[in-house]
């Protein structure tokens, strides 16, 4: 089943509603991240798209990602629980939940406003060129996965 479109304001508002349900006492149903770490973790792909984080995986890892993992990352099948986290996405520090919520919401709004055409013209640092549908699936699936991780 297709994911909601990240290019629509209604999807942005739905995600904001879910994010706003989180608080510093929110606990994960699975996994090891705190809510602050999860929120910071979820900002990484947006930072990469917007050029604020240019850390690429090593060349060999990019080949492996493209040959073996890309399809599962951009398709319409939800991620399984407890998948390994890429090193550049790991967060081990403590983060201010309210600050991270606002940062994440700002990034989500920026991508919605960027639009499908411009996003499709922006290559992924890990996966290379993606269609607007692949970007949609990748971004929505990732944030949905982590919001479900925290029960929202």
Q: Give the residue extent of every domain in the chain.
A: 9-149
- The one-digit pLDDT tens for each residue of the chain (152 residues) are 799 999 999 999 999 999 999 999 999 999 999 999 999 999 999 999 999 999 888 899 899 888 999 999 999 999 999 988 888 889 999 999 999 999 999 999 999 999 999 999 999 999 999 999 999 999 999 999 999 999 99
Displacement of CA 101 from its chain's centroid (Å): 13
SS (H, E, C) 2-58: CCCCCCCHHHHHHHHHHHHCCCCCCCCCCCCCCHHHHHHHHHHHHHHHCCCCCCCCC
Provide the whole-model pTM.
0.94
CA–CA separation, 6 and 112 (whole Å): 6
């Amino acid at each position: 089943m297709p994911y909601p479109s990240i290019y629509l304001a209604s999807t942005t508002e739905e995600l904001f509603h879910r994010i706003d349900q989180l608080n510093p006492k929110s606990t994960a149903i699975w996994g090891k991240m705190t809510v602050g770490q999860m929120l910071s973790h979820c900002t990484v792909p947006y930072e990469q798209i917007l050029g604020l984080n240019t850390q690429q995986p090593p060349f060999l890892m990019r080949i492996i990602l493209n040959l073996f993992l890309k399809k599962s990352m951009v398709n319409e099948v939800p991620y399984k629980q407890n998948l390994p986290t890429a090193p550049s996405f790991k967060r081990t520090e403590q983060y201010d939940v309210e600050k991270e919520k606002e940062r994440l919401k700002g990034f989500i709004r920026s991508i919605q406003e960027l639009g499908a055409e411009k996003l499709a013209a922006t290559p992924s640092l890990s996966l290379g060129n993606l269609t607007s549908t692949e970007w949609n699936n990748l971004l929505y699936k990732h944030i949905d996965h982590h919001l479900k991780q925290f029960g929202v």
